[in-house]
Amino acid sequence: MIRNILFKFFFFTGIATICILFLPALVMPQKITLIGGKLMGYWSKYCLRIFLSVKINIIGKENILLNEKFFIACSHQSMFETFFLQTIFNSPIFILKKELLKIPIFGLYLKKIGSISIDRNKTTKENLGFFEKIFNSANFSNRPLLIFPQGKRVLPNEKLKFKKGIGRIYEKLKINCLPIAINSGFVWPKNQKLLSNKTITVSILKIIKPGLDKNEFLKLLESNIYSELDNIS
Q: Which amino acid is at 201?
A: T
pLDDT value for 113? 86
* pTM score, whole prediction: 0.91
Contacts 24+ apart (CB under 8 A), 17-20: 18/43, 19/105, 19/106, 19/109, 20/105
Residue 46 lies in a domain: no
Provide the β-strand partners of residue 59.
Answer: 203
Distance CA 51, CA 85 (A): 20
Contacts of 98 (CB under 8 A, 6+ apart): 117, 118, 119, 120
If one counts the domains in the chain, the total is 1
| CA atoms in the 13 A half-sphere facing the CB of 206 | 5
CA distances in angstroms from 172 to 176, 212, 214, listed in the order given: 11, 11, 9
Residue 35 lies in a domain: no
Task: List the chain residues with pLDDT less than 50.
Answer: none
Residue 6 lies in a domain: no
pLDDT value for 121? 61
DSSP one-letter string for the chain: -HHHHHHHHHHHHHHHHHHHHTGGGGGS-HHHHHHHHHHHHHHHHHHHHHHH--EEEEE-GGGS-SSS-EEEEE--SSSHHHHHGGGTTT--EEEEEGGGGGSTTHHHHHHHTT-EEE-TTS-TGGGHHHHHHHHHHHHH-SSPEEE-TTSS---TT--PPPPTHHHHHHHHH-SEEEEEEE-GGGTS-TTS----S-EEEEEEPPPB-TTS-HHHHHHHHHHHHHHHHHHH-
pLDDT value for 109? 85
Residue 147 lies in a domain: yes
| CA atoms in the 13 A half-sphere facing the CB of 50 | 13
| Residue range(s) defining the domain that contains residue 177 | 54-232
Distance CA 119, CA 58 (A): 32
Residue 37 lies in a domain: no
pLDDT value for 127? 61
Do 116 and 130 meet the contact criterion of CB atoms below 8 Å apart? yes
pLDDT value for 124? 54
Residue 158 lies in a domain: yes
Do 80 and 200 meet the contact criterion of CB atoms below 8 Å apart? yes
Residue 211 lies in a domain: yes
Residue 182 lies in a domain: yes
pLDDT value for 12? 94
pLDDT in tens, 98-116: 888 888 888 888 888 888 8
Distance CA 18, CA 21 (A): 5
Distance CA 214, CA 167 (A): 5
